[in-house]
Structure 1
Amino acid sequence: MNNLAQLHIDHTKCSGCGRCVQVCPGSLFFLDPSHHAAHHPIERFGWDGCWKCQHCLAVCPNGAIHILGKDPKDSLPAPPLETAAPVLDALVANRRSHRRYQARNVEKETIRHLIGLLQNAPNGGNKLQVEYALVDDVEQMDRLRTLASERMDALAACGIYPDGYDAKSFQDLKRAEETVRPDMLFCGAPHLLIPHAPADVGCGWQDTAIAGTYFELLCAAHGLGAILMSFCLDVLKRMPDVWSLLHIPDDHCVSMAIGFGYPMIPYARGVQREDAVRSEVLSFPAVS
């Protein structure tokens, strides 16, 4: 039987609970006459095969399922809800958009660890198509910052402004650089991450936005500051030669860029939002 996903079920551990049957998006599992989990032939990956989601490995209470060469004992255990919930609540409430950073590198091992965790971010059809353009060195980031800023000013001198700007609003922006922050393009961030994905396959726009927001929250959890940006993308796309240095394929979409690094100014507490969440409880007519 074809088994492209290297799926193995240890029947000495399988209790026949059927959870794998219920969660597999590819409908690959069934319970055999002995009430043990079994699977259909796996001839391909994708919509009509194995989604590579590893739901089966994750849901089995006894660790009976191995797939894609993964051993369930190597997975991170779920954190206890009584401790996880307050920590995540505090992270969400205390995350801030940082616009001033220390001029030093974040350890490359830390950056790679955070990007690796993004493989767990939700994405359409579990296609895992998001890629990342990364600037992980302060000196390289300063080169990009200088190049883009000088080119932006040169274009403005010719009457070419970023989308949504005219001569007056652009000068307002430049004045803000003297007081609010010295770098309106990248907010002084020493590092840059740009998620990108194919625009015409799957859910590229949504997937890149989700990856960016997950990365910001991961930064907060690891003592890093971050800021989600779109203005720098609008500016960079007006200078194709500079944009090409990012090595983002022409057929890929980009929804945001994330500046990150060690924050210069720490925040002592979360803010207290006063506006009520605008929501409406919906009801629908009964179907006869």
Structure 2
Amino acid sequence: MLDFKIDEEKCIECGLCAEDCPVRIIEMNPKPIIRKEKEKNCLKCQHCLAICPTAALSILGKNPEDSISVTGEIPKPEAISRWMKTRRSIRKYKKENVDKELIQELIETAAHAPTGHNDNAVLISLIDNKEDLDLFRSKVYDSLKNARETGTLEKRFQFLLSYQKLWEANGTDIIFRDAPHLIIASAPSADASPLADCLISLCYFELIANSHGIGTLWNGMIKWAIDDIDPELRTLVGIPKNHTIGYVMIFGKSAVKYTRGIQSEGLKVNRIKF
């Protein structure tokens, strides 16, 4: 049930909701309606709720007054461009936890990332305190040590053994970089685009985290440990078997401050012409 409702006193019959509906299931009669037999085609994108100029439309039990208005301050393109160009991966962190309320705010913002079919099925597996991350870090290094001793580590991951030896010898943490927090994005493998959904969600998380002065690092080594080296690590952090892991990100308060952005070599561009 879509719970599609129109406040007839507010509705001005502009037809914007019907015009913007991606699957064209909204009709004007003369007010907007969705016929029962067409409800199953709804993408649940809420575009109709978002575009209504008079807040007359409600769907899926959502109250338009509870949505964020777009009339507030929006960063200028130059500011966004500067922000993105000066973003740096952080590999040195302060030895303190990020406030849990702030972490929750970051995740709630990342929840607005677009997903295939508006499925919104990304699962965020979070370690939100340094103490638990210390325990997980030890488990990962133990898994590498076991793989080294049993000779079961694939050739492409052999380089990780040198990091394990450093950890064992003097506590030098190359893999986790002594970060206090970790976030893993996964999604049901049967979904339309599980990998892309996870990556986009983490991009949203990273940008809002950086705006709060929280450093981040996309961490493929931890993903390999969970996905390819020790399946028990997946169980340990509670990722369902039927999920695809998009990526792993470590984060925390940065212990370094960069003065300027790098000078990118740019992207290769294939200009398509027909």
Listed as ranges, the gaps of 5+ residues in structure 1 are none
Aligned residues of 1:161 and 1:170 also touching (Cα < 8 A):
no
Report whether the alignment pairs 1:203 with 2:193. yes
Report whether the alignment pairs 1:250 with 2:241. yes
The separation in 2 between residues aligned to 1:58 and 1:174, in whole angstroms, is: 51
1:123 aligned residue: 115
Report whether the alignment pairs 1:102 with 2:94. yes
Report whether the alignment pairs 1:236 with 2:217. no
Aligned residues of 1:114 and 1:218 also touching (Cα < 8 A):
yes
Report whether the alignment pairs 1:41 with 2:39. no
1:283 aligned residue: 273
CA offset at residue 79 of structure 1?
A: 5.7
Q: Which amino acid aligns with 1:143?
A: L
Q: Which amino acid aligns with 1:74?
A: D
The separation in 2 between residues aligned to 1:210 and 1:216, in whole angstroms, is: 10
CA offset at residue 158 of structure 1?
A: 3.2
The separation in 1 between residues aligned to 2:194 and 2:129, in whole angstroms, is: 27
**TM-score normalised per structure 2:** 0.88
**TM-score normalised per structure 1:** 0.84
The separation in 1 between residues aligned to 2:177 and 2:187, in whole angstroms, is: 24
Helix, strand or coil at the partner of 1:255: strand
1:140 aligned residue: 132
2:13 aligned residue: 16
The separation in 2 between residues aligned to 1:163 and 1:21, in whole angstroms, is: 56
CA distances 1:39-58 after superposition (whole Å, capped 9, x unpaired): 322785xxx33322211111
Number of equivalences: 271
Aligned residues of 2:145 and 2:164 also touching (Cα < 8 A):
no
Q: Which amino acid aligns with 2:183?
A: L
Helix, strand or coil at the partner of 2:75: helix
The separation in 2 between residues aligned to 1:211 and 1:186, in whole angstroms, is: 21
CA distances 1:73-125 after superposition (whole Å, capped 9, x unpaired): 22112266873423322221122111111111111111111111222101000
Aligned residues of 1:224 and 1:261 also touching (Cα < 8 A):
yes
Instruction: Give the share of equivalent positions with the same residue, in percent.
Output: 30
Q: CA RMSD in A?
A: 2.5
The separation in 1 between residues aligned to 2:32 and 2:5, in whole angstroms, is: 10
Listed as ranges, the gaps of 5+ residues in structure 2 are none
The separation in 1 between residues aligned to 2:160 and 2:87, in whole angstroms, is: 29
